[in-house]
Homo-oligomer: A and B are copies of this chain.
Amino acid sequence: MQLELSVDRGSPVPLYFQLSQQLESAIERGVLTPGTLLGNEIELAARLGLSRPTVRQAIQSLVDKGLLVRRRGVGTQVVHSQVKRPLELSSLYDDLEAAGQRPATKVLVNTVVAVSAEVAAALGVAEDSEVHRLERLRFTHGEPMAHLCNYLPPGLLDLDTGQLEATGLYRLMRAAGITLHSARQTIGARSATATEAERLGEQTGAPLLTMQRVTFDDTGRAVEFGTHTYRPSRYSFEFQLLVRS
């Protein structure tokens, strides 16, 4: 049997993208089982009425995602392992929502302050400028899970406390037309201070998972600097890595 594939030339969606999505969904649904040979590119192109470069572009995008492996002289086959999703720059709020965790947010601080030296260096703004300062508690199932402290350059975004409690910061930024590009982050651990413990419902000295992140948009401007602390009993970082070749 062969997979049902078809493309719609009337659609504004690129042909290679239509194809790669169909292949991806077939793999996800288990129609294309691990180890299956995809059949040669030439014949696949002929069957769909596409050119080989277009088919190759579709396949290549799935190879980049780690779903397929190509072997010269052999063929292209579905990768054998449980690749979920390679790591991407993600929003804690979105991650929790996708996991069905019903995140809730309480805004503790939402003001404009003069920058500290550390924040100025991280964001790349002048030492005498002002920045937005944001402090939030994130809950799941009514229990505190993380404390989020963020700084944003001035004039970038209107930060409405109501919106911040209803959704995540990244979503607000995207809605404001900011296209996120990359982030530099550090994950570590340390003991909770008394105030941190109080906030998160832990005991003083309890281990905390920490994350610092600077996020850049596509012009290279730093758009956010955050220092987060997580309760390790309720949260850990989980992700898939691919080997770059």
A residues near B (Cβ < 8 Å) are 34-35, 53, 64, 66, 69, 79-84, 86-89, 179-191, 205-209, 216, 218-222, 232, 235-244
Cα of A86 to Cα of B181 in the assembled complex, Å: 12
Cα of A182 to Cα of B185 in the assembled complex, Å: 21
Chain B residues closer than 8 Å to A189, beta-carbon distance: 189, 207-209, 232, 236
16 contacts between A and B (CB under 8 A): A79-B182, A79-B218, A79-B220, A81-B222, A84-B184, A87-B87, A89-B243, A179-B243, A181-B242, A182-B243, A183-B241, A186-B237, A187-B236, A187-B237, A188-B232, A189-B208
Instruction: List 7 additional contacts besides A187-B236, A209-B209; criterion CB under 8 Å.
Output: A80-B221, A81-B182, A88-B244, A89-B242, A182-B241, A191-B206, A205-B205
Copies in the complex: 2
A89 to chain B, nearest CB (A): 4
Chain B residues closer than 8 Å to A35, beta-carbon distance: 220
A66 to chain B, nearest CB (A): 5
Q: Find out whether the CB atom of B232 lies under 8 angstroms from the CB atom of A183.
A: no
CB-CB under 8 A for A81 and B216, given A182-B240, A183-B240, A241-B89: yes
Instruction: Report which of B79, B185, B188 forms a contact with A239, defined as CB distance below 8 A.
Output: B185
A46 to chain B, nearest CB (A): 21
Cα of A83 to Cα of B15 in the assembled complex, Å: 32
Chain B residues closer than 8 Å to A188, beta-carbon distance: 209, 232, 235-237
Instruction: Report which of B206, B219, B242 forms a contact with A80, defined as CB distance below 8 A.
Output: B219
Q: Find out whether the CB atom of B187 lies under 8 angstroms from the CB atom of A187.
A: yes
Cα of A236 to Cα of B183 in the assembled complex, Å: 16
Chain B residues closer than 8 Å to A242, beta-carbon distance: 88-89, 181-182
A171 to chain B, nearest CB (A): 14
Residue of B nearest to A191 (CB): B207
Chain B residues closer than 8 Å to A183, beta-carbon distance: 240-241
CB-CB under 8 A for A220 and B89, given A181-B69, A189-B189: no
Instruction: Report which of B88, B206, B220, B241 forms a contact with A81, defined as CB distance below 8 A.
Output: B220
Q: Find out whether the CB atom of A241 lies under 8 angstroms from the CB atom of B87.
A: yes
